[in-house]
Structure 1
């Protein structure tokens, strides 16, 4: 189902038809003093471009302002937002002179992840050290700036889907944090061909195996998918098919189907019960995908 977007003052209205949209606007004008700004083009630093297939969201103008504030308008672009080397610990390097500027720029880059999932993990790593940033993490922040310098027009495509389906991909970096040995998990959720939700976050507890780290990540992805299914249901866009969640850990896939809990899995039993319940009622399917894909 295609939806129309209209910008009124500080509010975006969406409807499935022009007539319904006009009815809503008329009722709002009767109750409030509102101003119709026409078709949505710009909102909260997000540029909205209409195409034949849907919408394209980007923050190109925000990127220019961000590079100006950082004094990096003429910096040399790089191909990736972070390198493949292990991330430095919080004790590596020397404290920087202006920690407040680091926090301001890290927060500003974090807002850019609204339309840039490609920098979500790199920004998450940078934001972990806002309390006392060393120079090595300042270099990581500058690398993100250099990356967005070369990719200012990247964004998110929102396309219409004839039959709405939810699909999620999940992965975890087991014990990747050098300071706490906590794992970092990440997931992305697609509605049809459109990426609508993503996250990169450090887990709250230490995982004793890679399968445990993967399972905790899948539990978070399944929780996000369950919330999205309920939200779409309230919008009268019911999803009849089960949500497919992909992960690259075979042990995790077996645990989602096996009703027997062994001693080695008791410490993650709540997450196992949560995911297995969704699998049992047919709302979720957990499948394996090779790491190369």
Structure 2
């Protein structure tokens, strides 16, 4: 049995035996130019094991090329995309500079350097992951209704941890108190439960079943009340399917939806 996790050109391979792993890698190498980096230590900008960080591979924030090089812009923007996995505070700005990768100008390069200067001044900020001796799946969810000032689209963020504890440091979170916020929050809870069910099934296939109840943290009290209340009301009919799905998991004691304050 072999499992392959692929993200663009980064691959994690897990096999049931070393012989299968070597044969699998050799078959991949016949089709694609690739190299084996041995045991997993670094993936998507996150250190799986403590490794030194190379801070000289990219130009500094104050560096200016002697001529305009679009390739350099694409390289820096691509590196910043991986950084957003542990620095969600720069996700939006990195997304904006990535929109100009196909036709960048010096003004966009100046904006990209400004992001680098910000990161250089806040190098100790971001999402820190630490090992934790626990086999319980814990998820966090937060949502807003129409929070984007340009598209008025709703957003939902889900974070799941298993065997690690995460600390979100020095990041401010803006909570949008709008009408129908409860609905967007509850749909965020339903999305988190769906993601947890998928992770449960994946770990079961990997012969690492989870025995403990999954915890889902949410900052909206009404969404938590709906997840445990079997009585429906007229104003919740349009989210009835999501409500029934979450309530079923709560009744089976596979999921617990708990409250967490959005501000500490």
The TM-score range, normalised by the shorter chain, is 0.5 to 0.7
Secondary structure of 2:149's counterpart equals: coil
The total of aligned residue pairs comes to 230
Is 1:267 the counterpart of 2:238? The answer is yes
Q: Does structure 2 conserve the Cα–Cα contact (< 8 Å) formed by 1:56 and 1:158?
A: no
Quote the residue 1:72 is aligned against.
61
Aligned position for 2:119: 148
User: What residue is the counterpart of 1:159 in the other structure?
Assistant: 131
Residue segments in structure 2 that go unaligned for 5+ positions in a row: 1-9, 30-34, 167-177
2:202 pairs, out of 210, 222, 231, with: 231
Note the aligned Cα RMSD (angstroms): 4.3
**TM-superposed deviation, 1:189:** 1.2
Alignment of 1:34-183 (within 5 A): 39-41=39-41, 55-56=49-50, 60-61=53-54, 64-66=56-58, 68=59, 72-73=61-62, 105-114=76-85, 116=86, 119-124=87-92, 126-127=94-95, 131=99, 142=113, 144-150=115-121, 151=123, 157=129, 159=131, 161=133, 163-183=134-154
Deviation at 1:44, TM superposition (A): 7.1
Gaps of 5+ in 1: 1-9, 49-54, 76-97, 196-206
CA separation in 1, counterparts of 2:47 and 2:135?
Answer: 25
The Cα of 1:141 is off from its aligned counterpart by 5.2
TM-score between the two structures when normalised by the length of structure 1: 0.60
Q: Paired residue for 1:249? A: 220
- TM-score, scaled to structure 2: 0.66
In the alignment, which residue of structure 1 is the partner of 2:263?
Answer: 292
> Which residue of the partner structure matches residue 280 of structure 1?
251
Q: Which residue of 2 is the match for residue 188 of structure 1?
A: 159
Counterpart of 2:157 in 1: which secondary structure?
strand
Deviation, 1:177, is 0.7
CA–CA separation in structure 2 for the residues paired with 1:147 and 1:41: 27
Aligned partners of 1:42, 1:36: CA distance in 2, in Å? 13
Q: Distance in 1 between matches of 2:94 and 2:25?
A: 43
> SS of the counterpart of 2:159?
strand
Q: Secondary structure at the match of 1:172?
A: strand
Aligned to 1:4: none
Matched, 1:211 2:211: no
Give the CA deviation at 1:184. 2.3
Q: Is the 8 A contact 1:245 1:284 kept in 2?
A: yes
> Helix, strand or coil: the match of 1:261?
coil
CA, structure 1 residues 36+213, in 2 after alignment: closer, same or farther (shift >3 Å)?
closer
CA distance in 2, matches of 1:266, 1:147: 46
Sort the Cα spacing of 1:127 and 1:102 in 2 relative to 1 into closer, same or farther, 3 A.
Answer: farther
The yes-or-no answer on 1:25 pairing with 2:14 is: no
Hey, what's the Cα distance between the residues in 1 that align with 2:107 and 2:259?
36
SS of structure 2 residue aligned to 1:188: strand
Distance 1:140 1:252, change over 3 A: farther
